[in-house]
A and B are shown apart, each in its own frame.
Chain A
Amino acid sequence: MQALKVTDLSKTFDLGKPLFGTARPGVRAVRPMSFSVARGETLGIVGESGCGKSTLARMLVGLMAPSTGHIEIAGKALDNADPAAFGRLIQYVFQDPISSLNPRKTVRQIMETPLKRLYGMNQAERNKRIAEIFDSVNLREEFLGRYPHEFSGGQAQRIGIARALAAAPEIMVLDEPVSALDVSVQAQVLNLLADLRRDFGLTYLFISHDLAVVEAVSDRVMVLYFGTVVEIGRAEQIFNAPKHPYTRLLADSAPVVGRPLAAPEQVDSELPDPLNPPPGCAFARRCSRATAICRDQEPPLTEKGKDQFAACHHPIAD
Chain B
Amino acid sequence: MGHFLKLLFRNRLAALGATVLSALLIVVLITPLLPLPDPNATATAERFARPFTEGHILGTDHLGRDLLSRLLHGTRLSLAVGIAAALIAAIIGSTIGLVAGYFGGRIDNVIMRGIDMLMAFPYILLALAIVAALGPGLMNALIAVAAVNIPFFARNIRGITVGLAGREFIDAARLSGLGHTRILVGELLPNVLPTIVIAMSTTVGWMILETAGLSFLGLGSQPPVADLGSMLGEARAALITAPHTSVVPGVMIFLIVMSINLLGDGVRDALDPRLKSGALSRPRAVTLVDRKGPVPAAEQRGLLDLDALETQFHVGKRVYRAVGGVSLYVKSGECVGVIGESGSGKSVTALSVMGLVPSPPGVITGGAVRYEGEDLLGARYETLRRRRGENVAYIFQDPLATLHPLYKIGDQLIEAIRVHHDTPPKEARAKALDLLRAVRIPNAESRLDNYPHEMSGGMRQRVGIAMAMANDPDVIIADEPTTALDVTVQAQILALLDDLRRERGLAIIFITHDFGVVAQLCDRVAVMYAGRIVEEGPTMQVLDAPAHPYTKRLIACVPELGSGKRKLASIPGLPPVVDNLPEGCAFAPRCDKARDDCRRGAILLAGRGLRAVRCIHPEEAV
Once bound together, how far apart are the Cα atoms of A244 and B569, in whole Å?
Answer: 31
* A residues near B375, Cβ cutoff 8 Å: none
* A residues near B565, Cβ cutoff 8 Å: 215-219, 235-236
B516 touches A87 (CB 8 A): no
A215 touches B559 (CB 8 A): yes
A76 beta carbon closer than 8 Å to chain B: no
B409 to chain A, nearest CB (A): 16
B19 beta carbon closer than 8 Å to chain A: no
A167 touches B567 (CB 8 A): no
| Chain A binder among B9-17, B38-46, B110-118, B482-490 | B482-490
A216 touches B563 (CB 8 A): yes
B491 touches A253 (CB 8 A): yes
- Could you say which of A166, A183, A217, A218 contacts B341, with CB atoms under 8 Å apart? A183
A190 touches B568 (CB 8 A): yes
- Could you say which of B492, B515, B564 contacts A215, with CB atoms under 8 Å apart? B564
B516 touches A254 (CB 8 A): yes
Minimum CB distance partner of A92 in chain B: B175
Find the residue from B176, B517, B568 having the highest chain A CB count within 10 A. Answer: B176
Once bound together, how far apart are the Cα atoms of A268 and B563, in whole Å?
Answer: 32
Q: What 0/1 readout, one digit per residue, does chain B (463-494) give for beta carbons within 8 Å of chain A? A: 00000000000000000000000111111101
- Could you say which of A101, A160, A209, A263 contacts B486, with CB atoms under 8 Å apart? A209
CB within 8 Å of A: which B141-180 residues? 167-169, 171-179
- Could you say which of B171, B190, B557 contacts A104, with CB atoms under 8 Å apart? B190
B453 beta carbon closer than 8 Å to chain A: no
B557 touches A94 (CB 8 A): no
Once bound together, how far apart are the Cα atoms of A94 and B557, in whole Å?
Answer: 22
B120 to chain A, nearest CB (A): 22
CB within 8 Å of B: which A114-171 residues? 114, 116-118, 152-154, 160, 163, 166-167
* A residues near B175, Cβ cutoff 8 Å: 61-63, 83, 86-87, 91-92, 114, 167
Once bound together, how far apart are the Cα atoms of A40 and B486, in whole Å?
Answer: 30
A234 to chain B, nearest CB (A): 10
Once bound together, how far apart are the Cα atoms of A210 and B514, in whole Å?
Answer: 12
Once bound together, how far apart are the Cα atoms of A188 and B575, in whole Å?
Answer: 14
A38 beta carbon closer than 8 Å to chain B: no
B487 touches A100 (CB 8 A): no
* A residues near B173, Cβ cutoff 8 Å: 102, 113
Once bound together, how far apart are the Cα atoms of A123 and B459, in whole Å?
Answer: 54
A211 beta carbon closer than 8 Å to chain B: yes
A261 touches B176 (CB 8 A): no
A103 touches B557 (CB 8 A): no
- Could you say which of B169, B487, B519 contacts A48, with CB atoms under 8 Å apart? B487
Once bound together, how far apart are the Cα atoms of A182 and B554, in whole Å?
Answer: 10
* B residues near A209, Cβ cutoff 8 Å: 486-487
A78 beta carbon closer than 8 Å to chain B: no
CB within 8 Å of B: which A155-199 residues? 160, 163, 166-167, 182-188, 190-191, 194
Q: What 0/1 readout, one digit per residue, does chain B (20-33) give for beta carbons within 8 Å of chain A? A: 00000000000000
A262 beta carbon closer than 8 Å to chain B: yes
CB within 8 Å of A: which B541-593 residues? 543, 553-554, 557-572, 574
* A residues near B487, Cβ cutoff 8 Å: 48, 209, 211, 250, 253-255
Once bound together, how far apart are the Cα atoms of A269 and B495, in whole Å?
Answer: 14
A261 touches B488 (CB 8 A): no
CB within 8 Å of B: which A33-52 residues? 48-49
CB within 8 Å of B: which A251-267 residues? 251-265, 267
B193 to chain A, nearest CB (A): 8
Minimum CB distance partner of A94 in chain B: B168
- Could you say which of B168, B177, B492, B498 contacts A113, with CB atoms under 8 Å apart? B177
A contact residues, total (Cβ < 8 Å): 80
Once bound together, how far apart are the Cα atoms of A87 and B178, in whole Å?
Answer: 10
Contact flag A256-B456 (CB < 8 Å), given A92-B171, A209-B486: no
* B residues near A105, Cβ cutoff 8 Å: 187, 190
Find the residue from A191, A194, A219, A263 having the highest chain B CB count within 10 A. Answer: A263
B574 touches A185 (CB 8 A): yes
* A residues near B168, Cβ cutoff 8 Å: 94-96, 99-100
Once bound together, how far apart are the Cα atoms of A191 and B557, in whole Å?
Answer: 11
Contact flag A212-B174 (CB < 8 Å), given A102-B191, A187-B569: no
* B residues near A191, Cβ cutoff 8 Å: 567-568, 570
Once bound together, how far apart are the Cα atoms of A113 and B174, in whole Å?
Answer: 10
* A residues near B491, Cβ cutoff 8 Å: 252-253, 255, 262-264
* A residues near B488, Cβ cutoff 8 Å: 48, 249-250, 253, 264-265, 269
B437 to chain A, nearest CB (A): 11
B570 touches A184 (CB 8 A): yes
Minimum CB distance partner of B193 in chain A: A104
Contact flag A92-B516 (CB < 8 Å), given A49-B486, A215-B564: no
Once bound together, how far apart are the Cα atoms of A5 and B487, in whole Å?
Answer: 30
B442 beta carbon closer than 8 Å to chain A: yes
A271 beta carbon closer than 8 Å to chain B: yes
A84 beta carbon closer than 8 Å to chain B: yes
A255 touches B191 (CB 8 A): no
Once bound together, how far apart are the Cα atoms of A84 and B178, in whole Å?
Answer: 7
**CB-defined A-B contacts under 8 Å, sample of 30:** A49-B457, A83-B175, A83-B177, A84-B174, A84-B179, A92-B175, A96-B168, A102-B191, A103-B191, A104-B191, A117-B177, A152-B574, A166-B176, A167-B176, A182-B341, A183-B341, A187-B569, A190-B568, A211-B487, A215-B561, A218-B565, A239-B562, A250-B487, A255-B487, A257-B516, A257-B519, A257-B560, A260-B520, A261-B498, A269-B488
Q: With contacts A257-B515, A263-B496 known, what are 14 further pairs, Cβ within 8 A?
A: A95-B168, A114-B175, A117-B177, A191-B568, A194-B567, A210-B559, A211-B487, A212-B561, A215-B561, A250-B487, A257-B516, A261-B498, A267-B440, A267-B496
The 3 tightest CB contacts between A and B, nearest first, are A255-B516, A117-B177, A187-B570
Q: Give the B-binding residues of A (Cβ under 8 A).
A: 48-49, 58, 61-63, 83-84, 86-87, 91-92, 94-96, 99-105, 113-114, 116-118, 152-154, 160, 163, 166-167, 182-188, 190-191, 194, 209-213, 215-219, 235-236, 239-240, 249-265, 267-271
Q: Give the A-binding residues of B (Cβ under 8 A).
A: 167-169, 171-179, 182, 187, 190-191, 341-342, 440, 442, 456-459, 486-492, 494-496, 498, 513-517, 519-521, 543, 553-554, 557-572, 574
